[in-house]
């Protein structure tokens, strides 16, 4: 990107319009207002002309669907708006804004696509795929997840007249706050923006605001169209639509089992006929094998037994993952969507896999090929994708879980004294006698020869498992030089470090689900992060729960976040001077558990009421943070301590009976 680009946001009211621009690298700021108090329309047009002439970009949150539409509309009708009073201008822009909002609500295409925009957009909302239902996030929610100090919503309704300067200043401050937070998101997304810039320049496809699935789709289409000699436009129209998928016809011939439990699941799959238009939740089945409940579905297999597992007393914990499992199932078995030539598809798919192995992990192109490899499977089940063929999807997911279970059975039956711990989509963990490691690797090699797939092996010294999606894994120690040791200790404090006998050792830790805290994606709910951190320190470092909670000094880590969708609304009910007061709250709130607070409820017009925190616990909102430390707030520490202890009891009930838990 070039020297001058602008992070921006627009607010449109019935009799008020403003737009704020802040330079993407400096603090330079420009605000333009059209209201009864001032009319900056001419100045705004001069600024927009400068943007166009200098090829400056606008950076926004959901700007492709809203802000860019208003800006382009202004550019197109500006002659009609010149020399008009504020009432005429604000009325025009307000009505256009409502039209744009309605277009989005009805999920129709916007009037001005990216190619029609005079000023190019970088949309951090689209880039991060927060328009996907699974990642759905508003700017307010992202403000919460990145600990933004002020996450208050618009203080005035868009129909309210802005008839005082105080109201005008209030909206302007709100708009500036949104622009600053959007700029922060841009900075946090800088590596992703740079990657998209490089891809755009190399392939001449505008990918600046593209989500990862769209990057995968566009680049696979780009390469495949050249390989099969078909235009991208023609390729984009292709689909394979099906009614019924007979699973018996797609199971690989080498799939077989020796034990009744797994034979039963194979027969269940063979008898299955799937409605290709309704695959989600269409099949579920469970078995209990060697004390571990394992769940099967159309999407994958999952199984784990909660508890703490340690590599001691002659035992080791082996972890084995299939390398690029789903892509390689398609590559090795020559599968492709039915409407795409098989040989060309598989050759291209394999090319991405082989090329990625040659590229260092730090190279952005390695990441791009990983996206393409992993997203292609998902795109085959997307009706809007040129790769759509649900049978291709089912071939991968069903054969994937059955082949992984073959390995699971081979290892369990072939290694005396083995104890299965966990299986999850593309890999498994197992406790085995240390002298059986070679036997373990031999069995894995047999499976690799049979399936033509590859396994990557690792070892854990401990695993703390709540369930298959929530666990901590502590790898075995690895030796590094002294400079690397202290550099890592500074940058990744969640690892374990010891120096002894002149050796510098570290052990990576892997946290998932309820135990994850150091690398949460921006859209994920980070509520009460102090609980996750306390669990980590308890299980990994042996820190007593109460000690950790009482000494923790990050206020945001004591906060939870909730959002209300549709007709649901939040209310705060408090006792004030002996009387009950009920106050409406924002659609997204940040709060902590307090000793003398209120009850926060989520309520629906149909009469349903849900307590944000059930039982005796009281809450205080903190949508505006003013630098308070935990000691400045009336935090009810018992809530957090009890939550941590409940999680510990669920995993290992006896641990809390012995005081401090020491792992090493």
Task: List own/partner pairs for 346-352 with CB under 8 A and 24 or more apart.
Answer: 347/227, 348/220, 348/223, 348/224, 348/227, 349/373, 349/376, 351/223, 352/327
Percent of the chain with pLDDT over 70: 98
249-263 residue pLDDT tens: 999 999 999 999 999
State both tokens at 393: 């999807």
pLDDT at 658 over 80: no
Contact of 647 with 531, CB cutoff 8 Å = yes
The CATH number covering residue 449 comes to 3.90.1600
Task: Give the structural domain span for 625.
Answer: 517-658
Residues in the chain, overall count: 664
Same domain flag for 394 and 276: yes
Answer yes or no: do 281 and 406 share one domain.
Answer: yes
**pLDDT tens-place string over residues 141-162:** 999 999 999 999 998 999 999 9
Mean pLDDT of the chain: 93
Domain boundary (410, 445, 476) is at 476
Q: How many Å apart are CA 610 and CA 568, to the nearest integer? A: 10
Single out the residue in 453, 476, 499 at which a domain terminates: 476
Query: Are residues 353 and 265 part of one domain?
Result: no
Is residue 281 pLDDT above 80, yes or no? no
Question: Which residues make Cβ contacts (< 8 Å) with residue 390, sequence separation at least 6?
Answer: 242, 245, 274, 276, 277, 279, 380, 381
- What's residue 663's pLDDT? 40
Domain count for the chain = 4
Q: What is the pLDDT of residue 191?
A: 92
Are 206 and 312 in the same domain?
A: no
| Burial tier of 143 (Cβ tally within 10 Å: 0-12, 13-18, 19+) | buried
What CA–CA distance (Å, rounded) separates 517 from 254? 41
Are 63 and 130 in a shared domain? yes
Question: Is residue 501 assigned to a domain?
Answer: no
Is 64 within a domain? yes
Residues 87 and 165 in one domain: yes
pLDDT at 475 over 90: yes
Verify that 63 and 152 share a domain, yes or no.
yes
Look at residue 287 and tell me whether its pLDDT is greater than 70: yes
- Confirm whether 412 is domain-assigned: yes
Residue 219, in any domain of the structure:
yes
Q: Which of 119-123, 168-172, 348-352 has the lowest mean pLDDT?
A: 348-352
Confidence of residue 28 (pLDDT cuts 50, 70, 90): very high
Record the tokens describing residue 41, joined without a space. 């329309």
- Indicate if 15 and 60 belong to the same structural domain: yes
| pLDDT tens-place string over residues 571-595 | 999 988 888 899 999 999 999 999 9
Q: Which helix (H) or strand (E) segment is 548 a member of?
A: helix 545-551
Task: Give how far Cα 529 sits from Cα of 120, 287, 628, Å.
Answer: 38, 34, 17
- Give mean pLDDT, residues 311-323: 95
Give 480's strand partners. 504
Both 89 and 166 in a single domain? yes
- Of 36, 198, 201, 65, the C-alpha closest to 124 is 65
- Facing residues of 320 across strands? 428, 457
Confidence of residue 657 (pLDDT cuts 50, 70, 90): low
Alpha-carbon separation of residue 339 from 238, 333, 375 (angstroms):
7, 17, 18
The average pLDDT across 223-235 equals 92
Residue with tokens 């005429």, as numbered in its chain: 88
Are residues 381 and 303 part of one domain? no
pTM, 2 dp: 0.91
| 22 plus 65 within the same structural domain | yes
Residue 191 sits in the same domain as residue 215: no
Whether 412 has a pLDDT exceeding 90, the answer reads yes
User: Residue 660 pLDDT more than 50?
Assistant: no
Asked if the model's pLDDT at residue 125 lies above 80, the reply is yes
Q: In this predicted structure, what is the pLDDT of residue 3? A: 76
**Residue 505 maps to a domain:** no
Residue 498 lies in a domain: no
User: Residue 664 pLDDT > 90, yes or no?
Assistant: no
- Whether the per-residue pLDDT at 661 is higher than 70: the answer is no
Q: Which of 476, 497, 525 is the last residue of a domain?
A: 476
Does residue 330 sit within a domain? no
* pLDDT (tens digit per residue) in 486-544: 998 888 877 888 888 889 998 999 999 999 998 889 999 999 999 999 999 999 988 99
Residue 138, phi-psi category: left (phi > 0), alpha (psi -120 to 50), beta (remainder): beta
**Dihedral angle computed from the Cα positions of residues 101, 104, 110 and 113, in that order, rounded to the nearest 10 degrees:** 110
Q: What pLDDT sits at residue 577?
A: 81
462 assigned to some structural domain: yes
Among 326-330, 500-504, 535-539, 630-634, the minimum mean pLDDT is found in: 500-504
């Amino acid at each position: 990107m070039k020297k001058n680009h602008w992070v921006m946001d627009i607010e449109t009211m019935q009799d008020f319009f403003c737009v704020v621009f802040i330079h993407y690298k400096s603090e330079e700021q420009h605000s333009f207002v059209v209201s009864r108090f001032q009319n900056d329309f001419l100045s705004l047009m001069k600024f927009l002309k400068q943007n166009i002439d200098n090829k400056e970009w606008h950076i926004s949150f959901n700007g492709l669907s809203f802000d860019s539409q208003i800006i382009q509309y202004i550019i197109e009708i500006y002659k009609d708006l010149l020399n008009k009073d504020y009432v005429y201008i604000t009325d025009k822009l307000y009505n256009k804004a409502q039209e744009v909002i309605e277009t989005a609500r009805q999920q129709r295409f916007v009037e001005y696509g990216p190619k029609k925009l005079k000023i190019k957009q970088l949309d951090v909302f689209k880039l991060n795929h927060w328009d996907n239902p699974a990642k759905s996030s508003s700017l307010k929610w992202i403000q919460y997840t990145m600990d933004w100090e002020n996450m208050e919503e618009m203080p005035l309704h868009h129909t309210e007249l802005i008839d005082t300067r105080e109201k005008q200043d209030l909206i302007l401050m709100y708009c500036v706050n949104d622009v600053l937070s959007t700029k922060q998101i841009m900075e946090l997304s800088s590596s992703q923006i740079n990657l998209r810039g490089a891809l755009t320049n190399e392939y001449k496809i505008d990918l600046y605001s593209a989500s990862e699935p769209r990057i995968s789709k566009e680049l696979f289409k780009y390469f495949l169209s050249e390989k099969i000699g078909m235009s991208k436009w023609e390729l984009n129209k292709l689909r394979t639509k099906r009614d019924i998928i007979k699973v018996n016809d797609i199971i690989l011939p080498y799939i077989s089992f020796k034990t009744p439990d797994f034979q039963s699941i194979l027969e269940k799959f063979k008898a299955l006929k799937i409605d290709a238009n309704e695959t989600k939740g269409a099949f579920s089945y469970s078995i209990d094998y060697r004390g571990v409940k394992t769940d099967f579905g159309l999407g994958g297999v999952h199984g784990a037994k909660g508890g703490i597992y340690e590599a001691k007393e002659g035992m080791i914990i082996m972890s084995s993952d299939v390398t690029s499992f789903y892509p390689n199932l398609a590559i090795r078995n020559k599968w492709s969507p039915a409407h795409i030539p098989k040989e060309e598809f598989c050759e291209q798919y394999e090319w991405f896999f082989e090329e990625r192995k040659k590229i260092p992990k730090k190279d952005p192109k390695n990441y791009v090929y990983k996206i393409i490899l992993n997203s292609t499977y998902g795109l085959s089940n997307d009706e809007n994708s040129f790769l759509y063929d649900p049978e291709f999807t089912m071939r991968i997911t069903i054969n994937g879980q059955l082949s992984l279970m073959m390995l699971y059975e081979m290892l369990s039956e072939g290694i005396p004294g083995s104890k299965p711990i966990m299986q999850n989509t593309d890999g498994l963990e197992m406790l085995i006698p240390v002298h059986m490691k070679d036997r373990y690797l031999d069995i894995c090699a047999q499976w690799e020869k049979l399936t033509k797939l590859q396994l990557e092996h690792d070892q854990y010294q401990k695993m703390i498992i709540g369930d298959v999606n929530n666990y901590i894994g502590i790898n075995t120690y690895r030796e590094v030089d002294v400079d690397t040791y202290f550099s890592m200790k500074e940058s990744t404090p969640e690892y374990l470090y010891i120096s002894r006998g002149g050796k510098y050792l570290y052990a990576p830790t892997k946290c998932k689900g309820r135990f994850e805290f150091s690398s949460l994606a921006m859209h994920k709910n980070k509520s009460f992060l102090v609980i996750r951190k306390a669990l980590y320190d308890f299980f990994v470092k042996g820190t007593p729960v109460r000690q950790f909670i009482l000494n923790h000094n990050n206020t945001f880590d004591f906060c939870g976040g909730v959002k209300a969708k549709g007709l649901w609304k939040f209310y705060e009910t408090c006792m004030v001077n002996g009387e009950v007061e009920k106050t409406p709250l924002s659609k997204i709130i940040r709060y902590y558990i307090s000793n003398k607070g209120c009850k926060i409820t989520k309520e629906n017009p149909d009469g349903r009421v849900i307590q944000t925190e059930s039982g005796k616990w009281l809450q205080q909102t903190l949508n505006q943070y003013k630098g308070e430390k935990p000691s400045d707030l009336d935090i009810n520490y018992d809530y957090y301590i009890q939550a941590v202890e409940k999680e510990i009891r669920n995993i290992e009930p006896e641990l809390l009976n012995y005081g401090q838990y020491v792992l090493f």
